[in-house]
Amino acid sequence: MTIRFDGRVAIVTGAGNGLGRSHALGLAERGAKVVVNDLGAALDGRGRTSAAAEKVVEEIKAKGGEAIADGASVTSPDEVKAMVERVMAQWGRVDILVNNAGILRDKTFTKMELDDFRAVLEVHLMGTVICTKTVWDIMRAQNYGRIVFTTSSSGLYGNFGQSNYGAAKAGMIGLMNVLHQEGAKTDVRVNLLSPTAATRMTEALLPKEALELMTPASITPGVLYLVSENAPSRVILAAGAGGFAQAVIHETEGIYLSEAERTPETIAARFAEIGDLAGMRDLKGAFEQTDKFVAKAAAARGIALPKRG
């Protein structure tokens, strides 16, 4: 079945260049009305201009699509609120939010100033929170919403010199997991994209031959699926150079220790058993972990537990 977005309204942050631009163009090509949000800042977040966003809007309109440019800073609740109010006045709804805006201020942790740590957290994590919070009740009232957060392999696996960026990107995992639960009743689905692409953020880090393969356009099909009507929810989709994979967080089955055995020495001696991957599983919520450990303890003591809930 062809994926289309006719009648849908999408906001894409950081859409003046790179991945955001590609996502905005892709949504518009398939029928969405698109808000091209971009502060127009430098890579480190300094400066401001609307030129990049307006250029993307011109590209969309030249192909027969509908789009508006907006220069709201994702770190400003007032500016984001004004943007969303403008969208609601013009088009009456918000169906899709792609949180893509970001900055870099890379340094080793020992050399990094706290202001640079906070700045990256503010744009990536709090910017995502602010934009999502602003459209959340609109989507719930519509009984429809599709939201993508942009995480990174730096947050999933780590990358030297990016403690601020990695922390911000990892924080999105917890945010997604909770909002997936809170949005389920009203069909608001929330997913993570973990992209690797040739953008302003990576052009100085990778060889030319690799960058030529890592086009933003090779990633956008994954975003279009994650914000489609039949999208999943609570998925981490990794994408790059035409490759797509799903990152997952699993927990091992673990062991139960009696009170007499609960010493650090026992844990050290049985650590391989604790980390045994056999039987590991994807837990759907925090209480699944609680239930697992309590069930083991109850079984060891012969206690019959009442069903929770």
Residues catalogued as catalytic = 165
Least Cα distance to 222 among 209, 210, 239, 247 occurs for 239
How many of the other CB atoms lie within 10 Å of CB of 179?
22
Which residue's structure tokens are 């006045």? 89
Task: Write the CA distances from 300 to 256, 258, 259, 269, integer angstroms.
Answer: 8, 8, 11, 20
Give the number of other CB atoms < 10 A from CB of residue 20: 29
10 Å CB burial of residue 114 (0-12, 13-18, 19+) is exposed
Q: How far apart are alpha carbons 19 and 219 in whole angstroms? A: 8
Residue spans of beta strands (DSSP E) within the chain? 9-12, 33-37, 67-70, 96-99, 145-150, 188-195, 236-240, 243-247
CA dist 246 and 192 (Å) reads 10
At what angle are helices 77-91 and 127-142 packed, to 10 degrees?
Answer: 30
As beta bridge partners, residue 150 has: 193
